[in-house]
Amino acid sequence: IIKKTQQSNKSTMLNRECYIIKDLIVLGERYVKEMKDGSSE
The secondary structure of 1-41 as a DSSP string is -HHHHHHHHHHHHHHHHHHHHHHHHHHHHHHHHHHHHHHH-
pLDDT at 39: 73
Q: Structure pTM? A: 0.56
- Residues 6 or more apart whose CB falls under 8 angstroms from that of 22 comprise none
- Rounded Cα distance between 29 and 31, Å, is 5
pLDDT by residue, tens only, the chain of 41 residues? 667 777 888 888 889 999 999 999 999 999 999 999 887 65
